[in-house]
Every structure is written in structure tokens, then in C-alpha cells.
């Protein structure tokens, strides 16, 4: 008689010889891979270098990951997971609450998008786009797309509550994120400017929110 795994509970990962894998070691390998990829690029990084950086044997690396592409996917998934850490918003009662929430959300999102790791990983992903287009799609799906869908749903709910009037919430969310990023994001990717200071970032985010809320006033 087969036993059933409890719903929602992830089974421990088992190695080839039936031993349970150490999740802390897996995390260490992923972070070592990320460090190597960002320093040397995907193509120039070897599994030996990753093992050395993680202070484990190459056999241990292969016991967790089939190849370098699987490691790059794990690195992307870990970075994209930062988008999931954003708090869900409770129902908003008035336009002031909506404005305040959008500003706080925008500051957190742009801080994430403009930090050094995200920018460097973005460059790495773009450089591998032709060889591994599926990884680019997954990064977008796991990360930026989630925040875009969240904002779209937020505008949809705010419209239903009469706080704004967005006939096409997806367009409103796209416009807002584009305004938040501006040309600075491209300059950051090109390495010709530094991330904004928090005060400047918050001011730019707030100005963009005000433009959108005026454009879609109920």
C-alpha cells in the first residue's frame, strides 16, 4: 500500500544513492555558481571553478545539478524569487491609500531592479539569450512578469472600487513601471551611471505615480 505525501509539503531531495541531499549545500553551490557566472561569464565558467568556489567536490555539484545550464537556471530562479517577497496588499479604501501603496511598492521594485546583482545577472541572461532563449523566458515569467501581473490586478481592483478608472489595467501597469525605470535602467545596464539614491528614487517613483493617478482619475 502506497503512502500519500501530505499536500503542500515538499519531499526531501534524494541523491543517486538514496541519501537525502543537504539543502544548505545546494544553496551554497547556487551562490557559488552565481558568483562565478557574474565574474567570468557563463561560457568561461567551469564546473571545477564552481566546486572550488562552493568548497565542495565536483561530484557533489553534479549530484545536485545535471550541468551548467541547470545551475544557471537555479541562479535565475533564486534571483527571480526576490519578486515573490513583495507583500500582498489588503483591500484599499481610498485613493490616498492606493497612492501610498503604489509608492512603497515602486520603491521596493526599483531598488530590486537597480541593485548590482540584478543588473549584472540581467547582462548575463541577455548574453546567453541566443544560446538559451528558454532561460530568458523563464526569468521574465518568474520575476518581472509577476510584478507586472500584480500591478495589473491592483489597478483592476482599484477600478472596481471606484478609486481610479483604468479601462485596460495592463496598459496602466506597463506605463507605470516604464516611468519608474525610465532611461536610467538602460544606462545602468550599459554601466554608465550608478543606482539612484533612495531619496531620489522615492521622489521619481512618487512623481510617476501621481502622473498615472491623474491620467486615470475616477
Q: Residue 34: which CATH number?
A: 1.10.10.60
> Do 102 and 135 have their domain in common?
yes
The number of distinct structural domains making up the chain is 2
Q: Which of 6, 37, 65 is where one domain is finished?
A: 65
Q: Domain range holding 27?
A: 23-65
Q: Where are the alpha helices (DSSP H) in the chain?
A: 23-40, 47-54, 58-64, 68-80, 95-114, 116-127, 133-142, 144-160, 169-181, 184-190, 198-215
- Say yes or no to pLDDT of 5 above 70: no
> Do 50 and 89 have their domain in common?
no
> Do 35 and 91 have their domain in common?
no
Within-domain flag for 154: yes
Q: With helix as H, strand as E and coil as C, how does 144-184 read?
A: HHHHHHHHHHHHHHHHHCCCECCCCHHHHHHHHHHHHHCCH
pLDDT in tens, 91-150: 688 999 999 999 999 999 999 999 888 899 889 988 888 888 888 888 888 888 888 999
Within-domain flag for 153: yes
Q: Which of 29-43, 124-138, 163-177 has the lowest mean pLDDT?
A: 124-138
This prediction's pTM: 0.80
> Do 104 and 32 have their domain in common?
no
pLDDT in tens, 52-86: 999 999 999 999 999 999 999 999 888 877 777 66
Within-domain flag for 209: yes
> Do 59 and 126 have their domain in common?
no
Within-domain flag for 4: no
> Do 42 and 118 have their domain in common?
no
Within-domain flag for 14: no
- Say yes or no to pLDDT of 169 above 80: yes
How many whole angstroms from its chain centre is CA 5? 30
Contact indicator for 207, 141 with CB cutoff of 8 Å: no
Residue 177 C-alpha cell reads as 513601471
pLDDT attached to residue 100: 93
How many whole angstroms from its chain centre is CA 53? 24
- How far apart CA 153 and CA 155 sit, in angstroms, is 5
Amino acid at each position: 500500500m502506497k503512502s500519500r505525501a501530505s499536500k503542500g509539503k515538499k519531499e526531501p531531495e534524494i541523491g543517486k544513492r538514496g541519501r537525502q541531499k543537504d539543502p544548505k549545500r545546494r544553496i551554497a553551490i547556487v551562490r557559488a555558481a552565481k558568483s562565478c557566472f557574474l565574474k567570468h561569464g557563463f561560457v568561461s565558467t567551469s564546473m571545477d571553478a564552481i566546486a572550488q568556489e562552493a568548497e565542495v567536490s565536483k561530484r557533489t555539484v553534479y549530484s545536485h545539478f545535471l550541468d551548467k545550464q541547470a545551475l544557471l537556471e537555479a541562479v535565475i530562479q533564486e534571483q527571480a524569487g526576490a519578486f515573490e517577497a513583495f507583500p500582498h496588499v489588503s483591500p484599499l479604501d481610498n485613493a490616498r491609500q492606493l497612492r501610498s501603496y503604489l509608492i512603497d511598492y515602486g520603491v521596493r521594485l526599483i531598488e530590486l531592479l537597480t541593485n548590482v546583482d540584478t543588473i549584472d545577472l540581467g547582462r548575463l541572461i541577455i548574453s546567453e539569450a541566443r544560446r538559451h532563449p528558454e532561460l530568458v523566458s523563464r526569468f521574465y515569467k518568474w520575476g518581472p512578469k509577476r510584478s507586472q501581473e500584480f500591478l495589473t490586478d491592483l489597478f483592476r481592483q482599484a477600478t472596481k472600487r471606484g478609486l481610479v478608472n483604468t479601462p485596460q489595467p495592463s496598459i496602466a501597469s506597463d506605463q507605470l513601471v516604464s516611468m519608474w525605470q525610465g532611461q536610467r535602467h538602460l544606462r545602468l545596464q550599459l554601466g554608465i551611471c550608478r543606482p539612484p539614491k533612495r531619496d531620489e528614487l522615492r521622489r521619481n517613483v512618487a512623481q510617476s505615480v501621481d502622473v498615472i493617478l491623474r491620467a486615470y482619475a475616477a
